[in-house]
Structure 1
Amino acid sequence: MAKIIYTLTDEAPMLATYSFLPVVEAYASTAGVEVETRDISLAGRIIAALGDLLPADQAAPDALAELGELAKTPEANIIKLPNISASMPQLKAAIAELKQQGLDLPDYPDNPTSDAEKDVKARYDSVKGSAVNPVLREGNSDRRAPSSVKNYARKHPHSMGAWSSDSRTSVATMGENDFRSNEKSVVVPEDGTLTIQHVAADGTTTVLKESVKVLAGEVVDATYMNAAALDAFLTEQVAKAKADGVLFSVHLKATMMKVSDPIIFGHVVKAFFADVFARYGDDLAAAGLSPNNGLGGILAGLDALPNGAEIKAAFEAGIADGPALAYVDSDKGITNLHVPSDVIVDASMPAMIRTSGHMWGADGQEADTLAVIPDSSYAGVYQTVIDDCRANGAYDPTTMGSVPNVGLMAQAAEEYGSHDKTFEIESDGTVQVVDGSGAVLLEHQVQAGDIWRACQTKDVPIRDWVKLAVTRARASQTPAVFWLDPSRAHDATLIEKVKTYLPEHDTEGLQIEIMPPDEATQFSIDRIRRGEDTISVTGNVLRDYNTDLFPILELGTSAKMLSIVPLINGGGLFETGAGGSAPKHVQQLVKEDYLRWDSLGEFLALASSFEHLATSTDNARAQVLADTLDRATGTFLDENKSPGRKLGSIDNRGSHFYLALFWAEELAKQTEDAELAAAFADIAGKLRADEQTIVDELLAVQGKPADIGGYFRPDAEKTTQVMRPSGTLNSILDSLSV
């Protein structure tokens, strides 16, 4: 039987699955398609990582590893929903919840001393950050706004804040002594194994990472950020924000860049509260209260300190005396510096640009902002857009063009800062990347506290990336631009490979360019204002940034993008959008039984999944499901059945009902499969006849608290009851048979 693997993930997407999956299972069964689930949630990954340390009845298989192997096969058909890329505070909160639920898990050892504690720490660390995507993404990324979504955005434009020509909002970035400026790159000539080592000033050699496997033609890069230069830069920006009277904010990616960016975040916290750390830094360190975990983590731990009240008062004075801080939630006093995973650059910067270049201050009012992005690799992309909006005003969603993306990400390409090749340097010396013969391929002179990191990009994914770019340019007859900077070491290496592989494809009549990111940004936004589309062909990190930046400006959200990963070995991975606002949606559900999460990305991914299945298994009925779902999604948008903004309107569950209704009606009137049409004529009739009853049942539960039994690991029975409150809808779905 043909299979679709549906991932169970986290937060609002996971809750939505409890409501939507029964629809998917019922409709898919009519085409002989089995839908199976795999738990790759943060809680599930924690349990899998510690499985052999748990009692047998608490252990669980490693579903992520299983899917990673499946993704390498032609049979793969995986629908991947957004998951938590855990920061340290999230990881510890998840561990605490699981322990409270009775799982016999050890605490996270911040300072392990025994081998056993070091083993536990390594296991927990393995699920931090972007731990899921590198495993599943055995292909490159094709993300674009489907025509139905783009047309809807033009007919029903989202709000865009007006820009003023005298806006003082700007981006501050280092430009020197940072990751971009210190980068070195090499192409490995043959298969082998590399070692990363630190040679101290006294000649002592410490192996930081051994047995790094590489393949012939693979690109290996290394770089570092100078900690002293970072601190000097941050001190300047704190002073500048205060002098200019703008909000101070920092924008990092402490999820994907799970090792490097929390460290940088800690430097920012220390720079903003320099006087506090000068006076109380030793006390905080002794108590294990690290600035890397944010101001919120420090404040939460002060009650245990004898002078905790005194230190808290010092932090409050630091906020009062420093520049005005940007706030994540001014009502709750949560600042930009509270939690490293609260302000993720790829989501926070587009939101700021969309809102007149403003963030929110302590008073809950919008204000111009100094956006601090320490590393200069891609900071200029945002500055270019800000300058354009300041000069030409906000973009117009009713007329603007689109910037789809082809992203290099297969086989963990360019996974900078997110895994085990990133280190905070303990002593002055040299970090070297050495091959099997002992030859030094890359090296940097470093000082204690510097952040050094390396990454790999295999040759096969690069070839596939170039092929996908040409394929998309040909299919859409759209210019494609490789966002690569010849003055950056890694990009210069990729440019040579792109120039080598492009002639392997028919590019006759296509416009394919190579431009530095700042120039490519300007080229693309000039075309946007003329209503023209431009494919951005980017590396992995910039893929993440661009697939939030442009969709948020075009559509109001990145969750409405079609995200396909054509797997290199023939399978398909279908992603359902970003999950940045998921936590707030869960909080609202628990408070008032209302889930505002929009599953549109899921509808788009599912249609593509059926289409891939139809082609790969010669299943004509699966193609009918794909085509009718696509038309139903268009109706769904035209009828405006996405979740409303407040109680009393349909929420996520209601949107699933209407999608099921429109899909059934499309299936009932299609002419390709008479038996399928007859079966769904009955279902469509029942759904339409009972529409008001079902809506009333869904609305009736709103307005009171909902118990789902946990945030990171909800109770399945309780969550099912909460997310499937319409007995009428449930019975109609149960009655479907062909």
Structure 2
Amino acid sequence: MSRIIYTRTDEAPMLATASLLPIIDGFTDQAGVEVQTRDISLASRILAAFADVLPEDQKVHDALGELGQLVKDPSAIIIKLPNISASVPQLTAAIRELQADGYDLPDYPSSPTTDEEKDARARYDAVKGSAVNPVLREGNSDRRAPQAVKNFAKAHPHSMGEWSAESRTSVATMDGSDFRSNETSHVLEKDDTLTIVHVAADGTETVLKESLPVLVGEIIDSTVMDAAALDQFLTEQIAEAKKRGVLFSLHLKATMMKVSDPILFGHTVRAFFPALFEECGDALQKAGLSANNGLGGILGGLDQLDDATAQRVCDLVQQGLEEGPELAMVDSDKGITNLHVPSDVIVDASMPAMIRAGGTMWGPDGTEKDTLAVLPDSSYAGVYQATVEDCRTHGAFDPATMGTVPNVGLMAQKAEEYGSHDKTFEIASDGAVEIRTAAGDVLLRQEVRTGDVFRSCQTKDAPIRDWVQLAVRRSRESGMPAVFWLDDSRAHDRALIEKVTAYLAEEDTDGLDIRILDPVSATQHTLDRVRRGEDTISVTGNVLRDYLTDLFPIMELGTSAKMLSVVPLMNGGGLFETGAGGSAPKHVQQLVEENHLRWDSLGEFLALAEALRHLARTTDNERARILADALDRATETLLNEGRSPSRTTGEDDNRASHFYLAMFWAEELGRQDDAEVAALFQPIAEKLRAGEEMILNELNSVQDSAVDIKGYYFPDQDAVSAVMRPSTTLNTIIDALRTR
């Protein structure tokens, strides 16, 4: 048996897996392919972090650690579904749920003092934020819109908001003293072990990072966000939004940048509600209510305060909302603002959604309004501003005619900012932070003040070389020009440009259009081509990879979930990702309240086909190739026949979509040239087609009623299976496949 690992994750993707995986198991079993699961959900990662101290019956296998080793194996084939990149509020909610289920876990210590609390905090910190992707991504990213999906979007264009030349929407960013402007870089001349040290004004030294192994040719960076400059900038933008009569919205990525961005989020909350923190800041701090966890965390923790203080907090919050500009809303009906929860508004999803909507976000009164989008760090804010200006000038994009923008992203081995978590620190006192060699020489130095945020990141040489090779290969295979989005005015990018130029010279680029442009110029160049219906590969670093693979697909396809995301692992294996999961919490809410799951598993279909194709190439498994090709044709049929999930309760949902995929897949297998495979699947196709009316009735008749899956972060899998597999007719047909 060949093996594919299918990850079990969280929220809507986890629910969909309960319905889809039995179908996958049944079909792939006929090709000698075993599909195994590994649970890398937030809850399982929490339990694995405490496996050595939990009772024997509560221990959980460290599946993420196992997969972290497997991705270095040439035989690795992993399908990775979206998982929760937990903010502190999500992490604490998951801990509470597990504790309620009887798991002997400590509380999350917000201000650890004892050794036991510090140990617990370190374990939890290893779980929160983007803890999964850096472990699994031992290769660079190849994201693109499959041709069938692109063709469908052109034939059935999604709705786009109208842009007006009078739109007052704009992007605000710092013009200095931020991460971008303070960045310094160094290319290592030999293998070494570095140390990051804080040197206080009085000469006292504190080791922030004791051991940082680096390799020859690796790029090491250091930078700092000036907290005082940040506060001034935020205060100015709040006043500017009020003056202009537009919504104020903050756009960060507190999930991936799990150390720095919650701090920046907290600065914004404090800047928006100055009176609250001037009067009640000490009381909030003593109660463990941090602005870094958002306004929702403060309001949700009022029971930690005495009645008078709690009431005063409510009054001052209301005063801040009345005196400040209107806040962009996450949920106007429920009063959930842009500043409620750090993980609610994620820049790479929220900014494209705003642009697609015509430059508007939802206001407190439930209407769409122009917005001042605030991105404090200027590293990539210009990309969004250029897009806003382009739309203001030329109007909304047309999905029926626009070109496509695949991406080749540098992310292997924790490349760039997304690998900076263990090297990011909020500074305790004035002084400097130095990055030193093992011999004690200072490679990089940043002057810092109390409250500043220091960050260092590293990018190894081998991933850079692999990234360049992948870009050239994709350009030649696709016939598309490729643009490296690199800014020679930024220290890190200057070092990258030197390497890219050298490695491109080693590649066969004859006849290819490959160029290097700064991000703003690259944005305008790409947008001009997009509007002419021309295709352009964006070749970017790790953060821009995330930003662009939401920005362009949301315009092109209506969602980034329809992108094919392949990670050719550097040692020869394959990681196949299935799209974004940002709206997954709302999907779970609808399922629990109405038994309707609108999650679209298209990303899973696309990833599975590519995984089977990779397996066929690497193991000479012809049946796996047959399955892959038939699955692609079935997916195209599903799109063309409009069998994707409806958002409306009572109509076909995720489960019905899975049924149709199974039927179309079986029909495609029944009519292809391999007689033995055809003989296996023709009877299955006939049974599914004959049972269509009964199966749809069984799937849809259960809707419009509440269900209990016995948990959110760690639901009971038997309960989930019962909810997600309500058709006895379908289950009988599929389960018979798995017993052959």
TM-score range, shorter chain: over 0.9
List aligned pairs for 1:489-500, cutoff 5 A: 489-500=491-502
Partner of residue 637, structure 1: 639
1:260·1:417 contact (CA, 8 Å) conserved in 2? no
Partner of residue 114, structure 2: 114
Partner of residue 728, structure 1: 729
The code of the aligned residue for 1:409 comes to M
Give the share of equivalent positions with the same residue, in percent: 69
**How far is 1:415 from its partner?**
3.4
The answer to whether residue 56 in structure 2 is matched with residue 56 in structure 1 is: yes
Q: CA RMSD in A?
A: 0.8
**How far is 1:536 from its partner?**
0.3
Distance 1:613 1:559, change over 3 A: same
Cα deviation, 1:160-183, whole Å, max 9, x if unaligned, reads 000000000000000200000000
The code of the aligned residue for 2:392 comes to R
**Alpha-carbon separation, structure 1, partners of 2:106 and 2:471:** 47
List aligned pairs for 1:250-649, cutoff 5 A: 250-306=250-306, 307-416=309-418, 418-649=420-651
2:419·2:458 contact (CA, 8 Å) conserved in 1? no
1:258·1:418 contact (CA, 8 Å) conserved in 2? no
Cα deviation, 1:514-542, whole Å, max 9, x if unaligned, reads 00000000000000000001000000011
Q: Under a length normalisation based on structure 1, what TM-score does the superposition of the two structures give?
A: 0.99
List aligned pairs for 1:645-660, cutoff 5 A: 645-660=647-662
Partner of residue 30, structure 2: 30
**Alpha-carbon separation, structure 1, partners of 2:443 and 2:83:** 36
**Alpha-carbon separation, structure 1, partners of 2:408 and 2:703:** 41
2:560 counterpart SS class:
coil
1:80·1:573 contact (CA, 8 Å) conserved in 2? yes
2:15·2:724 contact (CA, 8 Å) conserved in 1? yes
1:129·1:418 contact (CA, 8 Å) conserved in 2? no
1:352·1:358 contact (CA, 8 Å) conserved in 2? yes
Unpaired runs of at least 5, structure 2: none
List aligned pairs for 1:185-204, cutoff 5 A: 185-204=185-204
**Alpha-carbon separation, structure 2, partners of 1:362 and 1:36:** 46
Partner of residue 677, structure 1: 678
**Alpha-carbon separation, structure 1, partners of 2:331 and 2:690:** 44
2:652·2:700 contact (CA, 8 Å) conserved in 1? yes
Partner of residue 157, structure 2: 157
1:404·1:534 contact (CA, 8 Å) conserved in 2? yes
2:553 counterpart SS class:
helix
Partner of residue 248, structure 1: 248
List aligned pairs for 1:77-116, cutoff 5 A: 77-116=77-116
Cα deviation, 1:305-334, whole Å, max 9, x if unaligned, reads 121012111101110111011110010000
**Alpha-carbon separation, structure 1, partners of 2:265 and 2:706:** 35
**How far is 1:416 from its partner?**
4.1
1:19·1:723 contact (CA, 8 Å) conserved in 2? yes
**Alpha-carbon separation, structure 2, partners of 1:14 and 1:120:** 27
**How far is 1:220 from its partner?**
0.5
Cα deviation, 1:92-111, whole Å, max 9, x if unaligned, reads 00000000111111111112
**Alpha-carbon separation, structure 1, partners of 2:10 and 2:88:** 16
2:230 counterpart SS class:
helix
**How far is 1:142 from its partner?**
0.1
**Alpha-carbon separation, structure 2, partners of 1:579 and 1:88:** 18
**Alpha-carbon separation, structure 2, partners of 1:54 and 1:417:** 29
Q: Under a length normalisation based on structure 2, what TM-score does the superposition of the two structures give?
A: 0.99
The code of the aligned residue for 2:53 comes to L
**Alpha-carbon separation, structure 1, partners of 2:127 and 2:287:** 25
**Alpha-carbon separation, structure 1, partners of 2:506 and 2:9:** 39
1:331 counterpart SS class:
coil
Partner of residue 689, structure 1: 690
Point out the more displaced range, 484-493 or 303-312.
303-312
Cα deviation, 1:467-503, whole Å, max 9, x if unaligned, reads 0000000000101000000000000000000001001
Distance 1:418 1:360, change over 3 A: farther
**Alpha-carbon separation, structure 2, partners of 1:61 and 1:10:** 17
2:8·2:39 contact (CA, 8 Å) conserved in 1? yes
Point out the more displaced range, 470-479 or 113-122.
113-122
The code of the aligned residue for 1:106 comes to P
**How far is 1:301 from its partner?**
1.2
2:468·2:503 contact (CA, 8 Å) conserved in 1? yes
Cα deviation, 1:24-48, whole Å, max 9, x if unaligned, reads 0000000000010000000010000
Cα deviation, 1:269-296, whole Å, max 9, x if unaligned, reads 0000012211111111111110000000
Cα deviation, 1:118-177, whole Å, max 9, x if unaligned, reads 111100010011100000000000000000000000111111000000000000000200
1:36 counterpart SS class:
strand
**Alpha-carbon separation, structure 2, partners of 1:503 and 1:619:** 37
2:420·2:456 contact (CA, 8 Å) conserved in 1? no
The code of the aligned residue for 2:302 comes to L
Distance 1:102 1:231, change over 3 A: same
The code of the aligned residue for 1:618 comes to D
The answer to whether residue 672 in structure 2 is matched with residue 662 in structure 1 is: no
The code of the aligned residue for 1:33 comes to V
2:19·2:725 contact (CA, 8 Å) conserved in 1? yes
**How far is 1:417 from its partner?**
7.0
**Alpha-carbon separation, structure 2, partners of 1:535 and 1:568:** 21
1:607·1:629 contact (CA, 8 Å) conserved in 2? yes
1:537 counterpart SS class:
strand
Partner of residue 46, structure 1: 46
Unpaired runs of at least 5, structure 1: none
Cα deviation, 1:51-107, whole Å, max 9, x if unaligned, reads 111101101111001001000011100000000000000000000000011111111
**Alpha-carbon separation, structure 1, partners of 2:661 and 2:578:** 16
**Alpha-carbon separation, structure 2, partners of 1:419 and 1:311:** 32
The code of the aligned residue for 2:471 comes to A
**Alpha-carbon separation, structure 1, partners of 2:320 and 2:622:** 66
**Alpha-carbon separation, structure 2, partners of 1:240 and 1:343:** 21
1:597 counterpart SS class:
coil
Task: Number of aligned residue pairs: give it.
Answer: 737
2:56 counterpart SS class:
coil
**Alpha-carbon separation, structure 1, partners of 2:263 and 2:278:** 18
1:411 counterpart SS class:
coil
2:227·2:452 contact (CA, 8 Å) conserved in 1? yes
**How far is 1:14 from its partner?**
0.6
1:416·1:453 contact (CA, 8 Å) conserved in 2? no
Partner of residue 704, structure 1: 705
**Alpha-carbon separation, structure 2, partners of 1:280 and 1:713:** 36
**Alpha-carbon separation, structure 2, partners of 1:374 and 1:417:** 20
**How far is 1:303 from its partner?**
3.0
The code of the aligned residue for 2:123 comes to R
1:258·1:417 contact (CA, 8 Å) conserved in 2? no
